[in-house]
Amino acid sequence: MAFDIVSLLLRMPHVPPSFFTRFILHQFLPLPVPGTDYTKKTVIVTGGNGGIGLEAVRHFAKLGARVIIACRNTESGQNARNDIERANYPGRVEVWPLDLCSFDSVKAFCAKANMVLDRLDVLLLNAGVMVKDVQANAEGGGYETTILTNVISTFLVAFLLMPLLKQTAETQAEKTVVTVVASEAHFLTSFKERFEPNIFESFRNGEFIQYERYNTSKLLDVLLARELANRLDASSPSGNSKVIVNSVNPGLCRSGLFKEIPFFISLFVGFLSLVFARSAEQGSRTLLAAAAGGRETHGKYMDAAKVVQPSSFVLSDEGKRAQKRVWEELVDILEGVEKGVTGNI
């Protein structure tokens, strides 16, 4: 555990000093209260049964949406739904099972959505984990839990629901939005896996350091959201996709994300949270701002409810090459899960 802290601190000098300045400033920036009208609109929030996801669901329901909480723990989801319903908001909340560690569960969830829903206006890909050790998932192709949950299955949901998002944009003559919840942690990864012959395969058996794996997963989210936006534009007759894709940093929030971190690191995180952390409700405002984003947010990274620059690596030539490579590897994986799914893009 002590080694984890030391190695984390040793890596910090490689992060531009501006990162720390921006982190501190952005944590205290006022965040707009969501006000977009979602009456008659449908929203899916993965991991909407707790933390910032639950607060996002609450906002969407308050704004009139039909909101689907997609979560593995449906009992927790029902408790969340019951709590929101007591507020008598104009929207309504449903709970559908979704286990991102199981490809079959992801496919079943998306098949139901494509069959039952007549529209999908916002897909908020919020679910994410930071697990303490390697956990291979047989139902998820044997991939490790962090990468499987935060990246592979997250984008499988987006690929499988893309036809419904496109159809809604066409029939309703207005944009639809896919928001990927990323993190400023993407600044803090060395991403050594990019030097391996196959990036995703290296996650199966390579070195596992908890915070490094989480940070890398969030870097992949930023890269893949950017590439998904590019691909949607390329496949659109007008060159401008009506499906908006963006990624968002909710900032440091008081939530259950850090429940599995080692004790000594938890002391450090606890101190940061005490001084700098937003409430879950405040963090959820950043998600709503991204979900309400227009063309100006397409392919962009958002922080504190504004479009900002991602890490210098993302914008570098090396980052752009990594983005293409990660996309191509992901496409191969998803085609193996559901043949033809990448044709949805």
Catalytic-role residue among 41, 166, 175, 218:
218
Assigned domain for 344 exists: no
Give yes or no: 89 in active site. no
Cα within 13 Å of Cα(140), Cβ side: 25
Assigned domain for 322 exists: yes
Task: Tell me what pLDDT residue 262 has.
Answer: 53
Task: Tell me what pLDDT residue 183 has.
Answer: 94
Instruction: Write out the residue range of the structural domain in which residue 172 sits.
Output: 2-338
If one counts the domains in the chain, the total is: 1
Task: Tell me what pLDDT residue 17 has.
Answer: 59
Task: Tell me what pLDDT residue 241 has.
Answer: 95
Assigned domain for 61 exists: yes
For each of the chain's 345 residues, which pLDDT tens digit applies?
333 444 444 444 455 657 667 776 777 788 999 999 999 999 999 999 999 999 999 999 999 999 999 999 999 999 999 999 999 999 999 999 999 999 999 999 999 999 999 999 999 999 999 887 777 788 898 999 999 999 999 999 999 999 999 999 999 989 999 999 999 999 989 999 999 999 999 998 878 888 899 999 999 999 999 999 999 999 999 889 999 999 999 988 666 555 554 544 554 455 455 556 778 999 999 999 999 999 999 999 999 999 999 999 999 999 999 999 999 999 999 999 999 999 999
Give yes or no: 112 in active site. no
Assigned domain for 268 exists: yes
DSSP 44: E
Length of the chain measured in residues: 345
Catalytic-role residue among 38, 89, 211, 214:
214
DSSP 86: T
Task: Tell me what pLDDT residue 311 has.
Answer: 94
The contacts of residue 134 (CB under 8 Å, 6+ apart) are: 144, 145, 208
Assigned domain for 330 exists: yes
Domain of residue 23, CATH code: 3.40.50.720
Assigned domain for 94 exists: yes
Structure tokens at 276: 């700098």
Task: Tell me what pLDDT residue 207 has.
Answer: 81
Structure tokens at 222: 């930023």
Assigned domain for 345 exists: no
Query: CA torsion sign, 227 to 229 to 232 to 238?
Result: negative
Assigned domain for 343 exists: no
